[in-house]
Amino acid sequence: MPALAPPPPGPAPPSADPTESRPQGRRRIAPCTGIAFELKRGERLRVIDPGGRQVSDLLCYPADDVREFLSCGRTFDYEETLLLTTGNFLWSNRSNKLMKIVADTCGRHDFLLTPCSPEMYRILYGLDDHPSCFANLAERLGPYGIEPDAIPGTFNCFMNVQFQPSGKISVETPLSEPGDAVEFEALVDLIVGLTACPSETTNGGSVGPIDFEITRPA
Ligand SMILES: [Zn+2]
């Protein structure tokens, strides 16, 4: 297993129940795990990095047809930026808006790279049986009828991917401080997948938990 980061400061919220489709209140995703749940139109999902320097991969599908999915390419095209933050929309492969970013205290996230997978750990690092965002998402999204091959590139909250004019990219330590958060508003009813990424190289040398909270503005 990857090296664990020191526990985040402050009291820990209750652990997320991976079988719960409508989590209430602030919940904690344990290091190296993931969860899936329903997010209704108008609700807001706040993804919080409680200890700092921890990435969380996010995916969403319209609840009424999970063949439609989050698309980084469509999003870059319509939003005209690679760096998405407050005010930007996240679009689907069918050119529908699925989410809006309504708050962001970190300001640096990635939408270029795919979720870490067992194959990625083997190809890049020679590691077998490493936990991964892809495997966690596949396991949690399966009960909603979403097959592993239907998992596209994820919106990687707090992931710090730098790119050079030459086109070269590199994965750097996240810029998120303890308590930093990014908040999304659902524009349609959604099925959402969310992880606490198990990649030490992505998360500054050790891995920690991710907190999330669903709210409905009055
Ligand atoms: Zn990951």
Q: d(Cα 165, Cα 147) in Å, to the nearest integer?
A: 36
> If you measure from the C-alpha of residue 124 to the centroid of ligand 1, how many angstroms do you get, rounded to a whole number?
13
Q: What is the average per-residue pLDDT within 46-59? A: 98
* pLDDT for the residue 19: 84
Model confidence pLDDT, tens digit, residues 124-155: 999 999 999 999 999 999 999 999 999 999 99
Boundaries of every domain in the chain: 28-215
Output the CA 67–ligand 1 centroid distance in Å: 23
Report pLDDT digits (tens) over 102-120: 999 999 999 999 999 999 9
Q: Supply the pTM of this predicted model.
A: 0.97
Report CA(97)–ligand 1 centroid distance (Å).
25
The alpha carbon of 57 and the centre of ligand 1 are apart by a number of angstroms equal to: 7
Ligand 1 centre to CA of 209 (Å) is 12
From the CA atom positions of the chain, what is the Rg in Å?
A: 16
Quote the ligand 1 centre to 13 CA distance (angstroms).
22
If you measure from the C-alpha of residue 12 to the centroid of ligand 1, how many angstroms do you get, rounded to a whole number? 22
Q: Coil, strand, or helix at residue 76?
A: helix
Quote the Cα angle for 113-37-4, to 5°: 55
- Residue 77 Cα to ligand 1 middle (Å): 25
Average pLDDT over residues 20-35: 94
